[in-house]
Structure 1
Amino acid sequence: WSAQVNDLNEQLKILPKLCLLSAGFITYLASQSEDKRLSYMNKWKQLLNVDEKFDIRKFLSTESEQLVWKSQGLPSDELSMENAMVILRSQLCPFLVDPSSRATDWLKTHLKDKKVEVINQQDNNFTTQLELAVRFGKTLIVQEVDGVEPVLYPILRKDLASQGPRHVVQIGEKIIDYNPDFRIYLTTRNPTPELLPDMEAIVNEVNFTTTRAGLTGQ
């Protein structure tokens, strides 16, 4: 018991550092390639005096979760596993750069038990579908997002206003009730999307572009 208590105390001492590493990874590295992720993580571990064996996947997800993701069609390479972890942990709207569409297909399967709507940003009824999803707390997957429509900005920034006990958000010319269960995910097959700086600040770009290392992992 004494040894276990000492071990737990040691883990508690470094827990803030591990949380900082994980937050940095989710916030800044999801858009990067595998080699850049590894390079930055190694530098950060040295700066924080964290064991180089620290595995962020084991810290932010369990083996059983990863097995479920694989069974749902997610590629088994390290990049895809890290990306799934980011998508499900990020506080900002995930923006999936997914040339093969495999990650998008996985996301649809993973969220199938929720009220999921899948639409293209170019659809004629896009704004109407968006309004309904926000009002009724649906989960929205928006595909083919090469450039983010202005109508999405207030939602992605969470520009909410209070009206009594309710929260509302402006969508186009309308003021819509905002359901806290609403979730939105953006995806593109374009491997090099051009996001404006103000958009980069309100979405979390998640890079699924396949590399040689990723193909080996799959």
Structure 2
Amino acid sequence: MLENVGEELDPALEPVLLKQTYKQQGSTVLRLGDAVIPYHEDFRMYITTKLPNPHYPPEICTKVTLINFTLSPSGLEDQLLGQVVAEERPDLERSEEPANLVQR
């Protein structure tokens, strides 16, 4: 687990993010810098940040799965409303002015 990362990741992590493994003497290994280390197929790496709204470049986003755990009640309500509208009224979802969908 890597904790408290910023918006840039060390390029040395590239082989891990891309799972650039190969077989060496019958074992699956990964080259990390100058070292060749054993790699297990069940390996998972978790990277966390305390940034409230990080913006990662597209080349990072294509290599990882981003999960945003910082939901406010109103943000969750907006997401759920968007899903309901998409299911029930796809014509409204395509509307250019979604603020007119709900009156509060």
Q: Do Structure 1 and Structure 2 share a fold, with TM-score over 0.5?
A: yes
Question: What is the CA deviation profile of residues 22-75 of structure 1, one whole-angstrom value per residue up to 9, with x for unaligned ones?
Answer: xxxxxxxxxxxxxxxxxxxxxxxxxxxxxxxxxxxxxxxxxxxxxxxxxxxxxx
Tell me, which stretches of 5 or more residues in structure 2 are unaligned?
78-104
| In structure 1, distance between residues paired with 2:30 and 2:4 | 24
CA change 1:215–1:160 in 2 (3 A) is closer
Give the TM-score normalised by structure 2: 0.62
SS of 2:36's equivalent in the other structure is strand
Q: Sequence identity, in percent? A: 34
Give the TM-score normalised by structure 1: 0.32
Structure showing the higher strand proportion among its residues: 1
| In structure 1, distance between residues paired with 2:2 and 2:36 | 21
Equivalences for residues 188-207 of structure 1 within 5 A: 188-207=49-68
Corresponding residue number in structure 2 for 1:213:
74
Corresponding residue number in structure 2 for 1:170:
31
SS of 1:151's equivalent in the other structure is helix
| In structure 1, distance between residues paired with 2:24 and 2:76 | 51
- Amino acid of the residue matched to residue 60 of structure 2? M
**Are 2:17 and 1:161 aligned?**
no
Tell me, which stretches of 5 or more residues in structure 1 are unaligned?
1-140
| In structure 2, distance between residues paired with 1:198 and 1:159 | 16
The structure number with the bigger radius of gyration is 2
- Amino acid of the residue matched to residue 212 of structure 1? P
Q: Among 27, 32, 42, which residue is 1:181 paired with?
A: 42
* RMSD of equivalent CA atoms: 2.0
Structure showing the higher helix proportion among its residues: 1
- How many residue pairs align between the two structures? 76
1:193 CA drift (Å): 1.6
